[in-house]
Amino acid sequence: MRLSTKSRYGLRAMFDITYNCGPEPAQIQDISRRQQISPRYLEQIFQNLKRAGLLKSKRGPQGGYALARRPDEITVLEILNATEQDVLLVDCVGATPKKQRRKTECPFEGNCITQTIWSEANALLDTLFGGMTLQTLTQRAIDMDIPKESDNRII
């Protein structure tokens, strides 16, 4: 499995908002600079995150993007699902509640031992990513002594 830049950048940006801005709106150019992600690409990613109910936006000089829920309520899995079409190791075990059809039909359906391995691995990843929140990442960043950057508009 290889996650796309949308999911990797989306997770970094959501963490950045949580860590550097807290409940205050973050401006996209600040996130872009800190995370070295194109502002235009961030805008595209943020549209997916807004649709998923993870981000909200506010216009104006004191505007920007803020979390739609508390950091301890937003999981890594939600962010990945909002930015990826599917978070799967292989397509043949791709039936999800959102999508009842797989990308490809497997000719070995029901007779393939490796399908059981991929299903178990997907379940483990869902458990891992579903158990990690933005608050978890924030605590790890504090433990790693990652410096915070204050928003100059708040001062």
Residues 37-74 pLDDT 10s: 999 999 999 999 999 999 999 998 888 999 999 999 99
Spatial contact of 42 and 13, defined as CB atoms under 8 Å apart: yes
User: Residue 47: what pLDDT?
Assistant: 97
User: Residue 149: what pLDDT?
Assistant: 86
N-to-C CA span, the chain: 43
Give one DSSP letter per residue of the chain, joined into a string. ----HHHHHHHHHHHHIIIIITTS-B-HHHHHHHHT--HHHHHHHHHHHHHTTSEEEE-STT-EEEESS-GGG-BHHHHHHHHSS---S-GGG---SS--S-SS--TTTTS-HHHHHHHHHHHHHHHHHHH-BHHHHHHHHHHTTPPP---TTT-
Q: Express as a percent the part of the chain with pLDDT over 70.
A: 88
**Does residue 99 carry a pLDDT above 50?**
no
Amino acid in the structure at residue 93: V
Name the CA radius of gyration of the chain, rounded. 18
Global confidence as pTM: 0.85
Q: At the top level of CATH, which class does the domain 5-143 belong to? A: mainly alpha
What is the separation of C-alpha 59 from the centre of its chain, rounded to a whole number of angstroms? Answer: 23
Of 72, 37, 74, 38, nearest in space to 53 by CA: 74
Residue of 98 and 137 predicted with greater confidence? 137
Residue of 105 and 29 predicted with greater confidence? 29
Spatial contact of 134 and 71, defined as CB atoms under 8 Å apart: yes
Mean pLDDT of the chain: 88
